[in-house]
Structure 1
Amino acid sequence: MPLIISDEELREAGLDEREARIELACRLFDIGLLALWPAAKLAGFSSRAPFEGELRARDIPIYRPTVEDLHEDMATIERMRARQRR
């Protein structure tokens, strides 16, 4: 089902169609409903880099490490230290 936003509504928001797509994609990424690449495609980009720039401009973090990521990193560091001691 297509989403239709009238030209009048876009004007009221101060956006053109391209800007609205980018804004929507950034917000959907920010709240976790879209991953980076699907959001970049929704925004109309053919690569991730320009979309990442749009996220940075809005102070939206691109990477969101979890506690599990931290534990994995710490385990990796321990393994590396153990190898160095051998």
Structure 2
Amino acid sequence: MVIKKKQQDVVRFLEANKIEFEEVDITMSEEQRQWMYKNVPPEKKPTQGNPLPPQIFNGDRYCGDYDSFFESKESNTVFSFLGLKPRLASKAEP
């Protein structure tokens, strides 16, 4: 349940900011699960077991886990975290 809540938080943020993404359900694909395990950097892997979702990638580039995402959201640096150019705030005209 905790994992699902974290995944929904990431998805809601991406949708709200109109950031294109592909959500991958690793429970449905052994190949995708193995790809994720292999592509999380060694220093980011837990001492025991496998990394838990959500793990965030931009293509093949590892961005981080949910805690890193949350920290970047709190510090308003998500675009940098995702490897994207920051968006300029647009003023709404009356």
- Give the TM-score normalised by structure 2: 0.27
> Greater Rg, structure 1 or structure 2?
1
- Give the TM-score normalised by structure 1: 0.29
Quick check: which one's strand share is greater?
Answer: 2
